Copies of this chain bind each other. A is one copy, B any other.
Amino acid sequence: MADGASVAGRQSAVQEKRIEGLTMLIFSGDLDKALSAFIVANGAAAMDIPVTLFFTFWGVNIMRREGQVQLLEKKTFMESMFGWMMPKGPNKLVLSNMNMGGMGTLMLKKEMAKKNVYSLPKLIEEAREQGVRLVICTMTMDIMGIKKEELMPGVEFGGVTTFVSTANEGNMTLFI
């Protein structure tokens, strides 16, 4: 019985370790969805749950640096077009809903500040401090012509296998 119990103990420890983890596939580049993603990520990280955010498609825009960046390699015309048309970082994102030419987005930001809710740039900073893994989809970078030097520091780069294997080690997955 002692043996059995110790097996159970080890087993449950293994299991506990194995099935705890939150992995999000951040597809959207909308401000409201990004806020939700980071609030949940930071909440889970504060509960000591391993969290990975995998940014793909429009979601990659959340992690772009602001301002001009000196590129190591010239972009094609199409790649430059994508770059110009898409929002450059967290301060440029707008709401998925009720944006109303920016007025809705402004209203929300004001209310958030007034009610002491962190802004998106602050939430990203907090996520990094709490050890949330931030992984950028290299296929998206390739298709849209986004270069590593255009992205915020401290991010990792990975493909679909990175996403799936991380998700597979956890117990919670969200597509945002």
Which of A's residues lie within 8 Å of B, judged by CB?
A: 1, 3-8, 10-12, 14-15, 19-20, 22, 24-25, 27, 29, 32-33, 35-36, 39-40, 42-44, 47, 49, 56-58, 78-79, 81-82, 85-86, 97-98, 104, 107-108, 110-112, 115, 117, 139, 142-145, 159-161, 163-165, 167-168, 170-176
Q: Are A176 and B173 in contact (CB under 8 A)?
A: no
**Contacts A27-B36, A78-B107; A164 near B7 (Cβ below 8 A):** no
In the complex, are the beta carbons of A168 and B49 less than 8 A apart? yes
- Count of identical protomers in the assembly: 3
A139 CA / B108 CA spacing, docked (Å): 13
The answer on a CB contact under 8 Å between B175 and A175 is yes
CA distance A39 to B56 in the complex (A): 11
